[in-house]
Amino acid sequence: MNSGFPLVKVIAWITLFFAQCSLFSVDAQVNTSSLPSGNKTLSDVSILKRAIEHARKQGDIHQAETLTGEFHQLALAENTPISIADSYFQQARNAMERNNYEPAHELLNQAIGLYEAQNNQVGLAKAYRQLGLTYRYQSNYPQALEYIYLAMQISQQLNDQPAIASTYNSIGLVLEKMGLLEGAAQAHQQALELHYELENKDGIASALYNLGDLRRLMGDHTLALNYFKDALAIDLSSGGKKYIAYSHNKVGYQYVELGDYQKAQEHLNTALALFKQIQAPRDTDWALTSMARLEMELGNLEQSRALLDGVIARAIKQNYKSLLVDAYRLSASLALKSDDTKLAIQHIDAGVAQAQSNNETHDEALLEALRVQAYIKEDALRLAFDALLAQKKLEDETLHASRINTIATLQSQTEFVRRAQQIKLLEQEKALSKVKQEQFELGRNVSIAGIVGIFVLFVLIYSRINQRNLNKRLTREVALRTTELEQKNIELQAAYQEMEAISLTDKLTGVHNRRFLENQIGADLEKSQRVYTDWHDGKTPQPQQADIVVFMIDMDHFKRVNDEYGHGAGDEVLQQLTQRLALVFRQSDYIVRWGGEEFVGVARFINRSDASNLAQRLLEEVGATPFTLSNGASTYHTCSVGYACYPSALRHNQANDWQTLIALADTCLYEAKNNGRNAWVGIECINAPSANVTDIATGFFESSAHTDKIKVVTSFTSANV
């Protein structure tokens, strides 16, 4: 036994020695006070950035802010836009640590502007992700997802695996708050796998923490506790005080759920002390909410009430929207425990209103469950039943939304690939243009060389006396032509860069143009046809969310705007029209300016039965409110809509002919115009695989003869004809 003891001591001493060396190395890195103040270099900027991040990780936000101020002054002195943008980004991170989200928002926008101007994609991706997180903490989840998905798009194009992993974590956090647990679980799982491959301990801890939170929401408190404890162990080894505090709070909360109140109190006290130390007021109130839950379970109802009243008051004042919902829900539970049903219902109402404002359907359902308990306590069985129905409806909506969002998330990932393909297409075109230009220049140079050779030979024969002068003149001429050629090449390159920016976009409205549609829609039609082919072959059930619907949209009497107010006013109306179209179509759909006042909308992978609702919404969005012109005038306008669904023949395979689809939609648009305008007409299916479907549609509208080959729906009448 004794012979093993010295070895244990040696191992302990070695471990302590390396730990001290590690601390000394960190101190050496972050001690910037020893740097000569007038002799800063680019390496000093890197040292300062590492020092800021280290101070923030240790919870010393005051030191982080001091170093960031020095960093900002150094960046301004060097007048380096990227460094200035980085300093704004670091200031924003510091503000987020203190839960000051509005200042963080403004600083990130300043950083984004500079990153965009310098085309710094790495900086842009990290700033977009942080901006999305500020919106997440402000409970603006749709806006949060938009910016985080932008960050993901850039990171995937750069193949920046650490950034991709972190962005998956951010996506999961937002989806979780929206109650979309399935999509959140997928995002966190992908983050965990990527961080594991990268051997990123902090990333693994974050992913485990987030997966544990999902397990908590699903009611698996034992597994959630294990995840949180694993995350805490990693956080303790890394030394980041904020993340240590987060994990202590979650571990303590899980111990409350499992009834081990002594361990719960130890962890919650540690979390509360750390949050106060790093001066994070929102997170401090979050820990106090957990403490209030513990006091409630211990039977200390007055102490629990005092804690919750304070949290609610501060959350209202500081606009901590998501925390406010949690506090209201816990306060309602405490009121029920105290038999104060009036206060319980009051706080349930307030919590439901805030949850609806936050788009937190899952929390809204939990509050409705508490309402059921409150009404049962009051023997108001009818009201309790109504509340139960409301809770059930919310839970169904959450499940449905979770499935839809999972599909949307997968579609968004597909969009990243599609956009990358779009960029590749432009690069191929650029390469082809370059080859053609080089071929042209080569032919021209060969011709010039031949002419010059003949000319020089003639000069040599003609007179040796003038050789030197002629050669000098020729040299000057070649130099001049070379300079001109270089200038033309520069102009050509600038013109091509401009072409790249506008080649897929309509200059006036900013939406896509015909070329974009030609490049993209073929792949969508092929995918839709494959799904239906598998159904025809008996491999899969009848498809859902697999149809492509093309809408032709035309402004009614648009010429009157140009005639009465001028073409400038017409342009303003078209720009406002595209904004209204964007309210109807999803971000994954296409909006294309087809020409003049005519637009094409492509609803991708929906059920064709929903197309008529979209067409009606188009009429309402366009005609409901006036268009405001820059001269102060307001004008009302309407539009007409024609649409066609693909595959048009549900029971038969057909060619991926998008021009035919456009022609069918255009035929429907013409019919809507002929029936008084401000109307829509749609073709849901044509059961004639071998015939000319356009002729069938045109013939039907001209004769209105009954046929089983075509199903047409309209806003003014419905027909299966």
The share of the chain scoring above pLDDT 70, in percent, equals: 74
Rounded average pLDDT over 64-76: 89
Higher pLDDT, 686 or 619: 619
On the question of pLDDT at 497 being above 80, the answer is no
Q: What is the pLDDT, as a whole number, of residue 321?
A: 86
Yes or no: say if 598 and 551 are a contact pair by the CB < 8 Å rule.
Answer: no
Confidence category of residue 459, pLDDT binned at 50, 70, 90:
very low
CATH (residue range 280-417): 1.25.40.10
What is the pLDDT, as a whole number, of residue 382? Answer: 58
Residue 677: the pLDDT is: 92
pLDDT at 30 exceeding the cut of 80? no
Determine the average pLDDT of the residues in 212-225: 84
Tokens 């425990």 found at: 337
- CA 680, CA 42: separation in Å to the nearest integer? 63
pLDDT higher than 60, residue 449: no
- The 8 Å CB, 24+ separation contacts for 371-376 are 371/345, 373/336, 374/332, 374/336, 374/341, 374/344, 374/345, 374/348
Give the rounded distance of the alpha carbon of 8 from its chain centre. Answer: 52
* Long-range contact pairs involving 274-278 (C-beta distance under 8 Å, separation at least 24): 274/59, 274/241, 274/242, 274/244, 274/245, 274/248, 275/245, 275/249, 277/59, 277/241, 278/59, 278/60, 278/61, 278/97, 278/241, 278/242, 278/245
Q: Quick one: what percent of the chain has pLDDT higher than 90?
A: 34
Residue 227 has pLDDT above 70, yes or no: yes
Task: Give 177's pLDDT tier (boundaries 50, 70, 90).
Answer: confident
Angle of the 181-198 helix axis to the 161-177 helix axis, nearest 10? 160
CA distance 153 to 121: 10
Tell which wins on pLDDT, 163 or 26: 163
Looking at residue 427, its pLDDT comes to 54
What is the predicted pLDDT for the residue at 23? Answer: 36
Q: Before 647, cis peptide (omega within 30)? A: yes
Domain assignments of the chain as residue spans, ordered by start: 1-30, 280-417, 432-502, 514-719
Polymer length in residues for the chain: 721
**Mean pLDDT for the chain?**
79
The answer on pLDDT for 181 being more than 70 is yes
Give the per-residue pLDDT at 160.
93
At the fourth CATH level, the homologous superfamily of domain 514-719 is Reverse transcriptase/Diguanylate cyclase domain (3.30.70.270)
Residue pair 488/506 in contact (Cβ under 8 Å)? The answer is no
What is the pLDDT, as a whole number, of residue 394? 54
Question: What are the tokens at 553?
Answer: 């949209």
Rounded mean pLDDT of 61-72? 88
Mean pLDDT is lowest, of 188-197, 217-226, 704-713, for 704-713
The DSSP bridge partners found for residue 552 are 600, 642
> Mean per-residue pLDDT for 212-223?
83
Question: Does residue 714 or residue 24 have the better pLDDT?
Answer: 714
Looking at per-residue pLDDT, the higher value among 453 and 240 belongs to 240
Q: pTM score, two decimals?
A: 0.48
Is the pLDDT at 5 greater than 80, yes or no?
no
Amino acid 718: pLDDT: 46
Segment (H or E) for 680:
strand 680-686
pLDDT of residue 176: 82
Highest mean pLDDT among 189-203, 638-652, 658-672: 658-672
**Highest mean pLDDT out of 370-379, 537-546, 583-592:** 583-592
CA distance 711 to 687: 9
pLDDT of residue 628: 93
What is the SS3 assignment for 604?
strand
Q: Count other Cβ atoms within 10 Å, centred on residue 223.
A: 14
**In the predicted model, what is the mean pLDDT of residues 166-194?**
86
Least confident span in 302-316, 455-469, 494-508, 557-571? 455-469
For residues 687 and 291, the model is more confident at 291
Q: Strand 590-595 and strand 598-606: pairing? A: antiparallel
pLDDT at site 397: 53
As a whole number of angstroms, the distance between CA 193 and CA 86 comes to 29
More confident residue, 463 or 198: 198
> Distance between CA 649 and CA 673 in Å, rounded?
26
389, 374, 500, 363: which is closest to 434 by C-alpha?
500
According to the model, what pLDDT value does residue 107 have?
93
Residue 339 corresponds to which amino acid? Answer: D
CA distances from 389 to 347, 357, 369, 396 (A): 20, 21, 10, 11
